[in-house]
């Protein structure tokens, strides 16, 4: 699934209006879980899958991948910044 597929799925299910701002992250499509139920609408990604994608795709070791992902997540992207779910 790519970003266009995700947007099409969200709009066809009426979960997202075409004019609603949302940030989708390039390269993390396999980690996409959905969107928040409350406003502002944020995309939600599985933190652990994002980490795994960085390790496999970028060849990073575990600690470097965590540092890189955490630095990426900490960027100030405003109210519509993606959310990353860590579960145990």
> Residue 71 has what pLDDT?
96
> pLDDT value at position 6?
92
pLDDT mean across residues, the chain: 93
28-66 pLDDT, tens digit per residue, is 999 999 999 998 999 999 999 999 999 999 999 999 999
Angle made by CA atoms 3, 31, 20, in degrees to the nearest 5:
45
Pick the residue with more confidence: 17 or 83?
83
Annotate the chain with DSSP letters as a single string.
--HHHHHHHHHHTTSS-TTS-----TT-GGGEEEE-SSSSP-EEEEHHHHHHHHHHHH---HHHHHHHHHHHHTS---TT--EEE---
17 pLDDT band (50/70/90 cuts)? confident
């Amino acid at each position: 699934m790519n970003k266009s597929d995700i947007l099409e799925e969200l709009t066809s299910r009426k979960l997202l209006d075409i004019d609603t701002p949302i940030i989708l992250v390039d390269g993390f499509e396999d980690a996409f879980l959905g969107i928040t139920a409350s406003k502002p609408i944020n995309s939600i990604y599985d933190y652990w899958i994002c980490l795994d994608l960085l390790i496999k795709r970028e060849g990073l070791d575990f600690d470097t991948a965590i540092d890189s992902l955490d630095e990426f997540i900490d960027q100030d992207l405003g109210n519509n910044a993606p959310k990353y779910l860590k579960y145990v």
